[in-house]
Amino acid sequence: MNQAHYRTVRAFLTGCMCCLIASCGGYRNANSTSRYTGNRAELENRLRAIIEGRPGQVGIAVLYNNQDTLLINNSSDYPMMSMFKLHEAIAVCHALDAQATSTDTLIPIHREELDRETWSPMLQDYMADSFSVSVKELLDYTLVHSDNNTSNLLFQRIVSPTETDRYVRSILPEGDFNISYSEADMKKDIAKSYDNRTSPLSYVCLLNRVFTDSIVSRDKQELIRDAMARCRTGAERIAAGIPDDGNIYFAHRTGSGYTNSRGEIIAVNDGAYVRLPDGKGYAIVVLIKDFGGEENAAERLIAELSAAVYDYITLLNCGLPAAPDD
């Protein structure tokens, strides 16, 4: 989505909701006895019925055909948690491009500067007091494993949260998001989690651009895509609503964690790009804020929403162009 088109979409969505448009025949959800008829409001109604009465605030965005958008509860107050690691990876790659620096560049690390009480698979792989890791590997830990230490290191050594916010905002004008803090900052004060926020629309637009547009150099963007396709977190969320038959391309970024003073989970999130066997694709984001229940219940909710979207999208064999491979 180019900048001019993004502004057009934002202006249109200010006063109304864009709905998915389909003109194909009915399709039955494998988990339901009802059929989709292709009515333009049907998917929105079904998604609203799924989230009705559920604890927390649920925001949904689906973008297909590079322009057609469905939004439910779109506002800019959803805490991203580790979802911001996609923004961070993009900003890191842009900074390296600007410096003509390779992702093979080694970063010296001292174990004493790392947090031993945070989620960090890298700490299990590197046991020495001092060691060096390439930027490529740091990005891999960050996007595949959602490693908090590697994310903190990238913020410290290459781009700050503020610089990340500034760069991503330059490629998503009028983007409804904010990045002010690192994982380390949020761990010290979990209230800061609410300041690293996004709207479903802003996140789905960024996600879509990663897989359909050129935003950093080709090799670095492919690194991001590949890492997201190997992401090991949140398997019971969006992916659980899509057939696992080996013919569907799936890449995603998750975010979740921390419990607020009311006993609610601050965020349970997932955003994915899905490419169907015929090469057609769509981006989907589900953000859940202040969920008053167990995390696995929120994950089942995301999976149910994902299944409804997938069932409906499979109707659209008559309008989705194939996404580019570059």
Give the C-alpha separation, 63 to 274, whole Å. 11
Among 159, 81, 163, which residue's Cα sits nearest to residue 119? 81
Q: Please enumerate in sequence order all residues whose Cβ is within 8 A of that of 84, keeping only pairs 6 or more positions apart, or say none.
A: 164, 179, 196, 198, 255
Is 146 among the catalytic positions? no
Catalytic residue among 32, 34, 76, 82: 82
- Do the Cβ atoms of 221 and 286 come closer than 8 Å? no
Residue type, 321: P
How far apart are alpha carbons 127 and 125 in whole angstroms? Answer: 6
Q: Which residues contact 100 (CB under 8 A, 6 or more apart)?
A: none
Positive or negative torsion for Cα 176, 314, 289, 13: positive
**Which residues are CB-neighbours of 52 under 8 A, at least 6 positions away?**
none
Question: For the chain, where are the E strands, in sequence order?
Answer: 27-28, 35-36, 57-64, 68-72, 78-79, 106-110, 130-134, 177-178, 197-198, 249-259, 265-275, 281-291
DSSP letters along 139-192, please? Answer: HHHHHHS--HHHHHHHHHHT--HHHHHHHHHHHSTT--EE----HHHHHH-GGG
Q: Could you give the residue numbers annotated as active site?
A: 82
